[in-house]
Amino acid sequence: MNDSMLNTLQTAKEVEGQKLSKPNSPVYSKRDILFALAMLVCGFLYWNLIRLPKLGAGVTVFAIIFCLCTALYLKNGGFRQTGKSLVILAVVILSSLVFLLFDNILIKMLNFIFLTIAVIYWICVTTGTTLEKRISIYMLGDFFNQVLIIPLRNFSCCFGAVRTLFIGNQKGKSLLAGLLGILVIIPVLAAVIGLLSRADAAFSELIAHLQFGISMDLLLQIILGIPVACYLFGLIFANRYKRNTGLVTIESVDKVASACRFVPGISVYTALTALNLVYIVFFLSQLTYLFSAFANRLPEMMTYAEYARRGFFELCTVAGINLVVITAAHLLAKREKIKVLQIETVALCVFTLMLILTAISKMVMYIDTYGLTQLRVYTSWFMLVLFFIFAVTAIRQFKQFNAARTLLIGFVVFFLLLSYGNIDGRIAAYNIDRYKNGTLESLDVKALGHLSEAAVPHLYALYQETSDQSLKVELKEALKALPGDGVALQKTFRDFNLQSYKAENIRMMLR
């Protein structure tokens, strides 16, 4: 037999062993035990490499190690990467590289959540445990099942696998008991040593000389890493062997959805009609004010800031209300006269799209007058995402297509564009270029000083070019004040990113 056939037979035996064992007493193979040990290491590395709030190269390193261990373990179980899983893995890689390349803390925090969800989805797609093979609305069931139900119902499996390693002989049992004793006594040791250090200067100096503080930090990371390891192993082990993965099914999701549809259709349609009539009256009464931005003129007695800012909050409120109303209507209404529901939904979407276009026009006017800031870029991005969601929702009402897939792919593309857009660098470059060519009246150097390290090369280039001494002083102060958000630059590889590295080299030239 060749290696491929041997691996297939081994996998079949392992799966059969899982089926024959009791649900709460799984059988662990040597590979399962090795993977449990690997997850314990990953649990430690999770706390050791991922440092808030900077989230630098440590996240990238952790993601690579974790994905490599998981891919090898699943490959050994007979799970090959498909075209779909490879696409998701590519998204995971792109997401993880953001932490190595860029310095924007807010975007990296959001990206960390995005990366976590993407990794979990990659695991369930690779193992084929999604409710449907295609992307659909049942992904919501997958999310609930994979994030909460499966890892928590299999949380103790990591302990079971490690325990199997020790229970084969008396020495193993003794070693396990010893490790448990050390684990229990660690908090007591920390408290006692801390008290003794404060009580005696010589002992305190000895502990400092041994760098005990660092050791205690590592021990704390090991302890906190155990529940992380249990979660990760429980998730992947259960997906590999389909253990406790069937609690959420298509039938159960459909049953819950059917139970929610208790509101008579006529009640929903009447409410939607009333809401749409209000929007019609609103648009007619506010026609001049709402569409002033398209003609690039301000309503009387309003500044650019007031006009654009008020438009944004109108957009957020109306879009939020309409999203909730549309979701509630489709979730709660009994399936009768569905055409009426579709017409009402299209009307609400159209009204929201009109408001979004108006708000975007206002924001363009605002940016043209005052330049870019983080808030203006983020709100503009958010408005574009909302426009996409409502446009897809409207089209879906009269044309059959996989709207869930379109919305998911569209959101991923939008988010990756935001992540790789180098927002702070582009803000600094845009404002400086506008100031240099005379289309921006003044340059708010103080505001640019609150950006991330991405702004440093552009500020330094202007510092070298300008002959305005007062501006030079402002720019130098801004360069010293960066990075933004009051976060000191860390000097470890965990916090490293390329933009911070380049900015630090520029600062060295200023000293």
What lies within 8 Å, CB to CB, of 507 at 6+ separation is 456, 479, 480
Contact between residue 135 and residue 125 where contact means Cβ atoms under 8 Å apart: no
**pLDDT score recorded for residue 282:** 78
**pLDDT score recorded for residue 458:** 94
Residue 54, pLDDT > 90, answer no
**pLDDT score recorded for residue 290:** 58
C-alpha to C-alpha distance for 50 and 131, rounded to whole angstroms: 32
Give the SS3 label for residue 129: coil
Residue 303, pLDDT > 80, answer no
Residue 191, pLDDT > 70, answer yes
C-alpha to C-alpha distance for 475 and 463, rounded to whole angstroms: 6
Range of lowest pLDDT (131-140, 416-425, 477-486): 477-486
Give the SS3 label for residue 333: strand
**Span 251-276, mean pLDDT?**
87
C-alpha to C-alpha distance for 77 and 11, rounded to whole angstroms: 5
C-alpha to C-alpha distance for 478 and 507, rounded to whole angstroms: 11
Residue 444, pLDDT > 60, answer yes
**pLDDT score recorded for residue 215:** 61
DSSP per residue over 358-370, as a string?
Answer: HHHHHHHHHHHHH
**pLDDT score recorded for residue 200:** 72
Best mean pLDDT range from 90-104, 340-354, 361-375, 493-507: 90-104
DSSP per residue over 420-479, as a string?
Answer: HS-HHHHHHHHHHHHHHTTSSS---HHHHTTS-GGGHHHHHHHHHH---HHHHHHHHHHH
pTM exceeds 0.75: yes
Tokens matching residue 191:
């408290």
**Residues 304-318: pLDDT tens digits?**
666 666 666 677 778
C-alpha to C-alpha distance for 410 and 406, rounded to whole angstroms: 6
Confidence band of 7 (pLDDT split at 50, 70, 90): very low
Tokens matching residue 84:
């779909």
**Residue reference for tokens 């035990």:** 33
Residue 486, pLDDT > 50, answer no
C-alpha to C-alpha distance for 14 and 31, rounded to whole angstroms: 10
**pLDDT score recorded for residue 490:** 47
Confidence band of 16 (pLDDT split at 50, 70, 90): very low
C-alpha to C-alpha distance for 242 and 15, rounded to whole angstroms: 9
Q: Domain ranges for the chain, please list them.
A: 3-247, 261-420, 424-510
**Span 203-208, mean pLDDT?**
66
**pLDDT score recorded for residue 309:** 65
Strand partners, 263: 333
**pLDDT score recorded for residue 222:** 86
Comparing 368 with 482, the larger pLDDT belongs to 368
**Residues 76-122: pLDDT tens digits?**
999 999 999 999 999 999 999 999 999 999 999 999 999 999 999 99
CA angle 327/329/334 to nearest 5° reads 130
Confidence band of 487 (pLDDT split at 50, 70, 90): very low
**Residue reference for tokens 């991922």:** 50
**Span 323-331, mean pLDDT?**
87
Phi, psi of 32 (to 5 degrees): -65, -40
Phi, psi of 65 (to 5 degrees): -60, -45
H helices within 77-104, ranges in order? Answer: 83-101
Give the SS3 label for residue 427: helix
C-alpha to C-alpha distance for 288 and 190, rounded to whole angstroms: 69
**Residues 244-254: pLDDT tens digits?**
888 899 999 88
Phi, psi of 333 (to 5 degrees): -75, 140
**pLDDT score recorded for residue 75:** 94
What lies within 8 Å, CB to CB, of 329 at 6+ separation is 268, 271, 272, 341, 344, 345
Range of lowest pLDDT (207-221, 259-273, 327-341, 388-402): 207-221
The identity of residue 189, as a single letter, is L
Contact between residue 53 and residue 484 where contact means Cβ atoms under 8 Å apart: no
Mean pLDDT of the chain: 83
Smallest Cα–Cα separation from 80: which of 151, 138, 4, 143?
4
**Span 457-483, mean pLDDT?**
85
Asked whether the bond before 26 is cis by omega within 30 degrees of 0, the reply is no
